[in-house]
Chain A
Amino acid sequence: MTLEVRELDLYYGDAQALDKVSLSAAAGSVVAIVGANGAGKSSLIRAIAGIETPRAGSVRFKGEEITGLPSYRICDRGIGQVAEGRQVFPTLTVRENLEMGALLKRARPRLAATLEEVYALFPRLRERAGQAAGTLSGGEQQMLAIGRCLMGQPELVMLDEPSLGLAPTVVQEVFQIVRQLNERGITIVLVEQNVAASLKLAARAYVLENGRIVMQGTGAELLADDRVRQAYLGL
């Protein structure tokens, strides 16, 4: 398993956000996490990334324990993130934003080459290279967030609602890119409010409710499940 999360507990003060969450992602697979607003999806991603410190449980990446490591060390192991709300650096230029993704030890020596690859994947970013990231459209910022993540040469990418607030054609594009990344061998953890599309892509999927995993299966199984269809697909 590339990623193995076991019985993770996370608290904000006294409020419990994650309750014994366990999940795993096989190398090169797509794993979807589905859940209503406030279920704890972003908290789970931030806990795996080391931005929040879990109270109990463990996270293993490629067989190694990474629980409790600071976020920059976890990134350097090869776990990249496209965070909720994109989190670009608004006053830095597009190019500077991309460079910031490559300051990890694992990525820094290949910065120039990776930059070319990312520009090839997102020609739009090359056109806008000298522009402040804050002036980009929502879709462009999302491409920048994904490109910046790729600059770190991740083996696992966690995407938190990458299509939120984007025009339908851009949403298509985002899913297309996620598929492409996966075809390159990158393991994907995908949180999406676009549940049908993400389940179709996912080898394995988990349903999170109030900080607990309440259901899991293959993407196809959950897609066919009546409860999932009712609660998350509005069918």
Chain B
Amino acid sequence: MPLDFYLNATLSGALTGLVYGLMALGLSVIFGVVRVVNFAHGEMMTAAMYVAILLAAALGLDPLVAMFPIGALMFVAGYLLQRTLINPFIVRPEHTQFMLMVAVAIILVNAQLLIFGPNARNVQVEYALDSYAIGEIIIDKVRVYAALAALAVAAALFAFFRFTLTGKAIRACADNHLGAQVVGLNVKQLYAITFGIGAACVGAAGCMLLLLVDVTPVQGPGYTLLAFIIVIVGGMGSLTGALVAGLVIGVSEALGGLLILPSAKSMATFAILILVLLFRPEGLLGRRA
């Protein structure tokens, strides 16, 4: 196969990977601060994707525009979920948290099956078939747009954590829980905001991904797992790590699909996970414990 064939695949994998990275960023933010693993992450993203499909059908909204109201909606949903359901579980043993989040995930999958049926759906945007050509390399327009949107949201998130008092307070909670109580931070509220931010991230990522893939109700668990793998590969608690690992996984999926079999793309993902666990258990950008 010619070289530009691989270049094409690498580039498009990297662009998709940035969207994966944003999805995983949501999981990483929630875990890093609230210390709860959101096992309903992929299911929440799927829910956001269905809302985007509805908005596209009803109002003709481009998913990249729908991303804003959907992000806001997901923030509110995440905030309330944390405030009402998850908060009482924070101090309970991890396996009960796990059961709770799995229950939320199962309810979401079944609700989606009930409402939307088992068939795959998608959104057709006008520019779905457009592409940019740079020499021999051809890139889909949708992929470029999705990746740029993912980068923009990630940059906004970094700025939020770095420059706003609320963002700093969330980092303070993650840094020292007792210290946060000592200075009088409203930790419960900050946890709920954090969960909302994580949900908004994954909701936005879902809108971007909708330009690239079909949606089915049963896809949720697969994306939860993928987000989980990306967070581990990138390093628990490292936001840049999640983005970088998303990129790596995106590229590996694309090349794995090309070199081995299209259906074997997640094999490459797991191979990377195993290699990282063996040789760099703290993750690519994680801090050594």
List residues of A whose CB falls within 8 A of some B CB.
Answer: 49, 51, 70-72, 74-76, 81, 83, 87-92, 96-97, 99-101, 103-104, 148-149, 152
Contact = CB atoms under 8 A, between A and B. Distances in A.
A152 B165 contact: no
A152 B185 CA distance: 11
Interface residues of B, number: 17
Interface in B161-201: 165, 168-169, 171-172, 175-176, 178-187
A100 B181 contact: no
A100 B180 CA distance: 8
A71 B172 CA distance: 16
Contacts of B176: 87-90
A101 B168 CA distance: 12
Nearest to B166: A103
Across the A-B interface, the 7 shortest Cβ-Cβ residue pairs: A75-B184, A87-B179, A89-B175, A72-B186, A72-B184, A83-B182, A89-B172
Most buried by A among B172, B184, B185, B186: B184
Contact of B169 (A83, A91, A103, A148): A103
Interface of B: 165, 168-169, 171-172, 175-176, 178-187
Nearest to A73: B184
- Give chain B's interface secondary structure class: helix
Given A71-B182, A72-B186, 18 more contacts: A71-B184, A72-B187, A75-B183, A83-B178, A83-B179, A83-B182, A89-B172, A90-B176, A91-B175, A92-B171, A92-B172, A97-B172, A99-B165, A100-B169, A100-B183, A100-B185, A103-B184, A149-B183
Contact of B178 (A51, A91, A92, A152): A51
A49 B182 CA distance: 8
Contacts of A74: 184
27 contacts: A49-B182, A51-B178, A71-B181, A71-B182, A72-B185, A72-B186, A72-B187, A74-B184, A75-B184, A81-B182, A87-B178, A87-B182, A88-B179, A89-B171, A89-B175, A89-B179, A91-B171, A91-B175, A92-B172, A92-B175, A96-B171, A99-B168, A100-B168, A100-B172, A100-B185, A103-B184, A149-B183
Contacts of B186: 70, 72
